[in-house]
Chain A
Amino acid sequence: GENVEQHPSTLSVQEGDSAVIKCTYSDSASNYFPWYKQELGKRPQLIIDIRSNVGEKKDQRIAVTLNKTAKHFSLHITETQPEDSAVYFCASTGTASKLTFGTGTRLQVTL
């Protein structure tokens, strides 16, 4: 089945810096790649997603890139703010249709 690897597991950046989180997937038929943000004690919430027919998508300070050949996708957060501190999960949908999540990245934005 689909396997999603996510790196790094923890990331600490200074306020205003950029943060990059990377994921790789195994199923070449995967066609949907969402990113979720989970604040402490809360539910995961979608922040951005990308489909396999698109290479890049941007929403204000957040962008996602997809390289289908290499089977990896990345989340880019620019001008980080303290409220960006959370756990971020990548995910992908493969041929089995289930949504498989990466192991998560704990992002800490320091002042």
Chain B
Amino acid sequence: DSGVTQTPKHLITATGQRVTLRCSPRSGDLSVYWYQQSLDQGLQFLIQYYNGEERAKGNILERFSAQQFPDLHSELNLSSLELGDSALYFCASSANWGNTEAFFGQGTRLTVV
């Protein structure tokens, strides 16, 4: 167990809908990353937060947004969902902002039908 908790584990929803993925980082970690992994693909960086502030942004679609709350948990919001958004979404946390080990959650598998 990495100490990073993601909910839900699985999510099936229809095109056009909106979903929220939740991540609780390891105790004491200030940095949260979100990654998208499509079938048999690599880890595409979406966004990073550090202590509540956006730290770095990847190729995140405008339909996607995220935030980190004062208690350091983070949520990734995906709206106007398309079939191509089906993927495994990982959250990772680290103590600092990028030069320390990142611990991954077990991921949320999103299926858009």
Q: Could you tell me which A residues sit within 8 Å of B by CB distance?
A: 31-32, 34, 42-46, 49, 51, 89, 93, 96-104
Chain A residues contacting B25 (CB-CB under 8 Å) are none
Q: Are A98 and B56 in contact (CB under 8 A)?
A: yes
Chain B residues contacting A101 (CB-CB under 8 Å) are 35, 42-43, 45
At the interface, yes or no: B58 with Cβ under 8 Å from chain A? Answer: yes
Chain A residues contacting B104 (CB-CB under 8 Å) are 43-45
Q: Are A98 and B99 in contact (CB under 8 A)?
A: no
Q: Are B43 and A46 in contact (CB under 8 A)?
A: no
Residue of B nearest to A43 (CB): B104
Q: Could you tell me which B residues sit within 8 Å of A by CB distance?
A: 2, 33, 35, 41-43, 45, 48, 50, 55-56, 58, 90, 92, 94, 97-107
Q: Are A97 and B90 in contact (CB under 8 A)?
A: no
Q: Report the Cα distance A97→B50, complex, angstroms.
A: 10
Q: Are B98 and A32 in contact (CB under 8 A)?
A: yes
- Highest count of chain B CB atoms <10 Å: which of A32, A43, A45, A100: A43
Q: Report the Cα distance A103→B38, complex, angstroms.
A: 12
Q: Report the Cα distance A44→B45, complex, angstroms.
A: 14
Chain A residues contacting B50 (CB-CB under 8 Å) are 97
Q: Are B98 and A97 in contact (CB under 8 A)?
A: yes
Q: Are B90 and A44 in contact (CB under 8 A)?
A: yes
CB distance from B71 to the nearest CB of A (A): 22
In the complex, 5 of the A-B residue pairs with CB atoms within 8 angstroms, ordered by the A residue number, are A44-B104, A97-B98, A98-B58, A99-B92, A99-B98
Chain A residues contacting B90 (CB-CB under 8 Å) are 43-44
Per a CB cutoff under 8 Å, which of B33, B41, B42, B107 touches A98? Answer: B33
Per a CB cutoff under 8 Å, which of A42, A51, A103, A104 touches B99? Answer: A51
Chain A residues contacting B56 (CB-CB under 8 Å) are 96-98
